[in-house]
Chain A
Amino acid sequence: MGGYGDVQLLREDGKRLDGRALDEMRPVSIEVGVLPAAQGSAMVTHGLNVAVAAVYGPMEAHPRKIQRQDRAVIDVRYNMAPFSTSDRIRPGFNRRSQEISKVTAEALESVVLVELYPRSKIRVEIEILAAEAGTRCAGITAATAALADAGIPMRDLMIGVASGKIENIVVLDLDKAEDNYGQADLPAGILPNTGEIAFLQMDGDLSPDEFNLAMEYNFKAAREIHDIMVNALKQKQQRGEA
């Protein structure tokens, strides 16, 4: 992030390299119930990102030392498939996937009504099949849709979105070039109905005004993705009723 100031990321007409406006996000689509063996599942396509999430449980937490007597634990495993990027990724857990698994689990624990399932575990598997930029946000969105599909009670639907800064201008939803050569990245997990933020990270520097604008963009995008997710959930149900 930063250090590549000479890379041009905005066109002369003020639009971004892929033709998007500054506050325009990449196309998003969500499909719910894609894995029959899972309790709940969802696939999110966000730009060129493809994330699949599967939810299992609630189940008895093992080993017993991880059990909490008053609530459930959420066990998240985020993984990028070896073929998800142009360079092959070495299979297995690495520092990055551990970090994303941890922050995603903590964000989900503040949204799921974990106190209803003491001593149990809810397992969330997130697999990134194709990666462009913003896989953790796509993963969070997919995990939320899968949890709703599994009938797990939640306070709201959490949406993963990111804004950032390129060429000193705040933009919504960074693509790969903007993520690599931009100046800042601000991914967030937003609860559109309650207006709360369940998770927030920042990579790079933003002034207070830039931060406020980036969060404004994030909330706008979260509301749009929320509508897409609600439609996807209802569509799945209507498919069954047809």
Chain B
Amino acid sequence: MSNGQSGAEQRLVTPGEALGSSSGLRNGSGVVERNGKFFSTKFGYMKNVNSTISVVPTHSSYMPQSGDFVIGYIVEVRSNLWFLHINGPFQGLLPMSLAPWKVEFGESRKHLDIGDAVFARVQEVDESHNVVLTMKGVGLRKIAEGAVEAFPSHLIEIFLGKQNANLQKMREHTNARIIATDNGQIWFDGDVQAMRNVRDLLMQFKGCLNGSELQSMIDNALN
């Protein structure tokens, strides 16, 4: 995700605002076409990438997409599956077959119980927004140590930086292990001072209203 700050296309638009003629262009996220014209449906920055006009909202809640890396919390346990809160409008479903362990029917609670947190990946989101999660993959596991802080999900991409540059700087600055997920959750672990450093920085960054403010705050804090 980009905050749409770069390039000549930067323009802050509101829902219903006309964005210009649609000829020769495609409409992307946050844009609809009516009578040969594009209109914004979101409050955000207009972007033109490869002849596709889209609007990147200044603020939005997390919408799960296939392939997303997330931190989820178990909220319901059934005999053969778990339901997870993934900070989105819909709960994620983790079937027994996609857990990293061999789970006997009826023994799911032995592996993950209500309140446990896990690293998972979104396997599939169907038309009815059923979200299927998997824990089969590198780095996907139950979280047994460290702490998790919530962070605005639309700012996660800026938090990570290009090729994780910001995240790497933060790891070096705080001497902590840090993992940021697509659903706006940040896990970190280290000694007491490292944990405190990360928490202080996150509290500072959370107050940002947009990507450019966050980037300048990160630059000031970590350089």
Residues of A in contact with B (beta carbons under 8 Å apart): 33, 39-40, 57-60, 69, 113, 117-120, 148-157, 191-194, 229-230, 233-234, 236-237, 239-241
Contacts and interface: CB of A to CB of B under 8 A. Distances in A.
B17 A193 contact: yes
Contacts of B58: 151, 237
Interface string B69-95: 000000000000000000001110000
B61 to A, nearest CB: 6
B16 interface: yes
B47 interface: no
Interface of B: 12, 14-18, 30, 32, 39, 41-44, 57-61, 89-91, 127-129, 154, 208-210, 212-213
Contacts of B41: 113, 153-155
Contacts of A40: 59
A203 B14 CA distance: 33
Given A113-B41, A148-B43, A156 B16 contact: yes
A66 B151 CA distance: 30
Given A148-B14, A193-B18, A58 B91 contact: no
Given A149-B59, A151-B57, A193-B39, A157 B16 contact: yes
B210 A241 contact: yes
29 contacts: A39-B61, A40-B59, A57-B61, A118-B129, A119-B90, A120-B90, A148-B43, A149-B59, A150-B60, A151-B43, A151-B59, A151-B60, A152-B42, A153-B15, A154-B16, A154-B42, A155-B16, A156-B15, A157-B16, A192-B16, A193-B16, A193-B17, A194-B16, A233-B14, A237-B12, A237-B209, A239-B209, A240-B212, A241-B210
Contact of B210 (A58, A69, A150, A240): A240
Given A117-B129, A153-B30, A234-B14, 11 more contacts: A58-B61, A60-B89, A60-B90, A60-B91, A118-B128, A119-B129, A150-B61, A151-B58, A151-B154, A154-B42, A230-B14
